[in-house]
Copies of this chain bind each other. A is one copy, B any other.
Amino acid sequence: MEVVRLLHMNKGAGETSYAQNSKVQSKIISIAKPMIEEALVEILSKNIPESVGIADLGCSSGPNTLSVISQIMYMIHGQCCHMGRSSPEFRLFLNDLYSNDFNDIFVSLPAFYNKIKEEKGIGFGSCFVFGAPGSFYGRLFPGNSLHFVHSSSSLHWLSQVPPGLESNASTALNKGKLYISKSSPKCVLDAYSLQFHNDFSSFLKSRSLEVVSGGRMVLTLMGRSTSDATTEDSCYHWELLAQALMSMVSEGLVKEEMVDSFNAPYYAPCAEELKMAIENDGSFMVDRLEAFEIEWDGGCGIMNDPFERGVRVAKTIRAVVESMLESQFGKHIMDDLFRRYAWLVGDYLASSKTKYVNLVVSLVKKDLRAQENKDYCISDALRISSVRLRKWKASFLRQIKSVFKVMSKIY
């Protein structure tokens, strides 16, 4: 599966669109908000750049997209007002994969600019919005151009299906499943873990070249609560989707080999894995790393009938994964599949309290040049000391010699 070409949220504004079904992601953004604010205050406490570069990675399209970047701008503006300063020029980069619906975002920009003018007056800093299409597992921005990077509900998407699990692999290693499951062999777990590690390292490597020293990133992604990758909170929504597909296999509506050969380009890491990848890379420092739980339907109307919740969850998941499933199983089974899925989710939620686990991490770009300078200074100091030592030794030897000369004359 070509993830770069195929992965995109459902376009438009219809019933199955991401725009209509992104409340869970909106809730996650709102939970991470205080950490974003804290990071921005830290950036501004050092100095206020004349032009601030901000990127939202995996911005998608829909109500969350422009709401995130306006929140970030307003926080900076508020902090500047608090400090009696005028707000800086904003360079806002919206990133997602090439097939994201950027047209939908761009046509809503005139209303967005008008809203800013209405809410903040004309004294608000100039603000330029750019589309930055491409994979965040590679370079996206010029060197040292960003002060703040945000990404929410995106980094659990891998750059590719882990090697050995692709749809054209000679042996199906993860039969009847779409992701890590209790029944998956260890090689499947290892392949997923390694792919995540490689991808997240590439992400950090690229960002370390783009973010200025002292710049910050706040990232949220799906995760898990324990080191056990088969824990229900990290994979059970995939388990149920596999069950829905297998029920269609049993009725002859879907070929079993199609399910066997499909694996999601997704990984929910635990906090330790994230921390380890960041420490291994070495260019960012973890300021805060937290985990929080969220209901499968975002928690809206939690008292409702579980089957109603099942329908809501199915819609949320459909808006996100449909583009990939369609390429494997065809468009024609989607309505039936998600009807079955909604029922299975409802049934599960009636007797279970499983929630999604999200990780949120706030990172600071280390001042690598200062570090290099420090290293240089130390080596310089050592070099100077050794020169001094040699001089002192030579002068000591000269003195000793002269003492010997004098003594040899006396005696």
For this chain, the copies found in one complex come to 2
The 8 Å CB contact of A130, one of B93, B103, B107, B139, is B93
The stretch of A18-26, A94-102, A156-164, A301-309 that contacts the partner chain: A94-102
A140 within 8 A of B: yes
Whether A134 pairs with B107 at a CB distance below 8 angstroms is no
Give Cα distance in the complex from A101 to B93, angstroms.
18
Cβ–Cβ contact B128 & A109, under 8 A: no
Contact: B110 with A98, CB < 8 Å?
Answer: yes
* Smallest CB separation, A361 vs chain B (Å): 25
A102 and chain B: residue at smallest CB distance: B102
**Interface check A4, CB cutoff 8 A:** yes
Q: Which residue of B lies closest to A53 (CB)?
A: B142
Find out whether the CB atom of B98 lies under 8 angstroms from the CB atom of A101.
Answer: no
Chain B residues contacting A214 (CB-CB under 8 Å) are none
In the complex, what residues of B have CB within 8 A of residue A63's CB?
none
Residue of B nearest to A11 (CB): B103
Q: Which of A99, A126, A131, A139 has the largest count of B CB atoms less than 10 A from its CB?
A: A131
When C-beta atoms are compared, the residue in chain B nearest to A144 turns out to be B51
Which residues of chain B are within 8 angstroms of A103 by Cβ–Cβ distance? 99, 101-103
Q: Which of A4, A109, A110 has the most CB of B within 10 A?
A: A110
Contact A139 B110 (CB under 8 A): no
Q: Nearest chain B CB to A78's CB is how many angstroms away?
A: 22
A132 within 8 A of B: yes
Closest Cβ neighbor of A138 among chain B residues: B113
> Are B142 and A91 interface neighbours, CB within 8 A?
yes
Interface residues of A in 104-146 (CB under 8 A from B): 106-107, 109-110, 126, 128-134, 139-143
- CA of A102 to CA of B99, assembled, Å: 10
Tell me which of B51, B91, B109, B126 contacts A98 (CB under 8 A): B109
**Cβ-defined partner of A142 (8 Å) among B89, B100, B102:** B89
Cβ contacts A145-185/B at 8 Å (1 or 0 each): 00000000000000000000000000000000000000000
Contact A98 B93, CB 8 Å, known A130-B130, A132-B130, A140-B128 = no
Docked complex Cα distance between A98 and B132 (Å): 15
In the complex, A374 has a CB within 8 A of chain B? no
A391 within 8 Å of B (CB atoms): no
- CB of A89 within 8 A of CB of B143, answer yes
Q: A393 in the interface, Cβ–Cβ < 8 Å? A: no
Residue of B99, B128, B131, B139 touching A141 (CB-CB under 8 A): B128
Q: In the complex, what distance in Å separates the CA atom of A172 from the CA atom of B400?
A: 110
| A106 interface neighbour in B89, B110, B126, B133, Cβ under 8 Å | B133
Q: Is A388 an interface residue (CB 8 A)?
A: no
A401 on the B face (CB < 8 A): no
A128 to B130, CA, bound (A): 12
New A-B pairs, 19, CB < 8 Å, besides A89-B143, A101-B103, A128-B141: A4-B110, A51-B142, A98-B107, A99-B103, A100-B106, A102-B103, A102-B106, A102-B131, A106-B131, A106-B133, A109-B133, A126-B139, A128-B132, A128-B139, A128-B142, A130-B130, A130-B131, A131-B131, A131-B132
The 9 closest A-B pairs by CB, nearest first: A131-B131, A106-B133, A130-B130, A103-B103, A98-B106, A102-B102, A98-B107, A51-B142, A130-B132
- Give 26 CB contacts A-B under 8 Å: A5-B107, A5-B110, A51-B142, A51-B143, A89-B143, A91-B142, A93-B130, A98-B106, A98-B107, A98-B109, A99-B103, A99-B107, A100-B106, A102-B102, A102-B106, A106-B131, A106-B133, A109-B133, A126-B142, A128-B139, A128-B140, A128-B141, A128-B142, A130-B131, A131-B131, A131-B133
